[in-house]
Amino acid sequence: MSRCSKNNYPSGKFFGVDCDEDLTINGETPANIPDGRTDPCLKAPCGEPKLLTLLANAIYDESGINLCRVIRVTQDVDGAFIDLAPYLNAACNILLEVIDYNLSDSDVQLIPNRPNCVSVRLTNLELTFAARLVDSCGRILTSFRFRATYLLEDESDESYNPDTNPTSICTELYAPYGVSYNSQTNSPMISSIGFVGIPITTGPNANFANNFIPQGISIQAMAKVLSLELTNDTSRVVPEMAVGLTLLLRSSYIVEYKFEHAGISVPPKAVPIIEEDLDCIRFVEGDLLAKNVKPLELRRNNRHSDPLCPKPCYQPGISGGSRSNDTAATSDVFDELAGSSEDSDIEDTFD
């Protein structure tokens, strides 16, 4: 737990520097908190809060759908022919991730006389897959991207199946705060959750970044190869696979919530192998830096500083010849930023 001065910073001193008790800013004296504590706009509180206020994307409604179709992959997304002949003897499985969606033919509609719900229709759902061909030990042999369409409106297409891959699906979702709107068409839209970080194309049919969690109605897909065959296609070996697809339709909104604070998470640190003993090397091999400024707890009756505080340190020429809890400054705050633990105090010696 972070440790700092019990009174945030001792009266009249700030990191060993005399503070002007009559400080004015733009002709006005900074106000103190009613209980006598210092204005956090001047001296940020330290320690850890009991509660945190967070913005969370909360799911209000969700519906899952499973589809399946056989996909024969002959070309990648760039139009290049795929040939898996070099991996014919070692290939065991293909791992798939859905990275992008084309929802141009799908839509979301408001329902008259039912303002808290919307109707979602999916059809001609073109998906972009990232594929990794692996052997029996899970080692990646090669990777490629390809496209495939589910819910094709053409019933004569070989992928059509009324039970596993119909022409369209419709469902209703509870959406009390409404939907997001397309900035180009000003119509309700379905957002996608995938792995695209920058726009792929420009213009009215642009595929925008989707590696974030949106508000309103969204879709997320997960894929699994159920069976795989490597077949010959005009002297090339191409994958033919049955791909199961899970579609998750959600309505979600960003809402402010309070959470009990259980401590700051400390990420694991990779330790380099270095033989030289220099200050920079010691820092690189040492603890990670961490932020320890305490967020304000947005409650009127629970804005208290942490009771565990480091010992104040004596600064010569400021408060006499002895250490005092009333006049010392808190240089240990710098030690907290350097990652020192609560079980070890660094004593400052002044001759």
What integer pLDDT is reported at residue 36 of this predicted model?
55
Cα separation, 315 vs 95, whole angstroms:
63
What integer pLDDT is reported at residue 301 of this predicted model?
52
Cα separation, 280 vs 270, whole angstroms:
16
Angle at the Cα of 91 from the Cα atoms of 86 and 92, rounded to 5 degrees:
175
Is the model's pTM score more than 0.85?
A: no
Q: Which helix (H) or strand (E) holds 120?
A: strand 117-123
Residue 183 makes CB contacts below 8 A (sequence gap 6+) with none
What integer pLDDT is reported at residue 183 of this predicted model?
85
What integer pLDDT is reported at residue 329 of this predicted model?
39
DSSP string, 257-313: EEEE------------------HHHHHHHSPPP---BPPPPS-TT-----S--PPPB
What integer pLDDT is reported at residue 50 of this predicted model?
86
Residues of the chain with pLDDT under 70: 1-38, 198-208, 269, 271-277, 281, 284-285, 291-293, 297-351
Q: Are 206 and 199 in contact (CB under 8 A)?
A: yes
Cα separation, 221 vs 102, whole angstroms:
12
Residue 247 makes CB contacts below 8 A (sequence gap 6+) with 64, 65, 66, 67, 122, 125, 219, 220, 221
What integer pLDDT is reported at residue 197 of this predicted model?
80
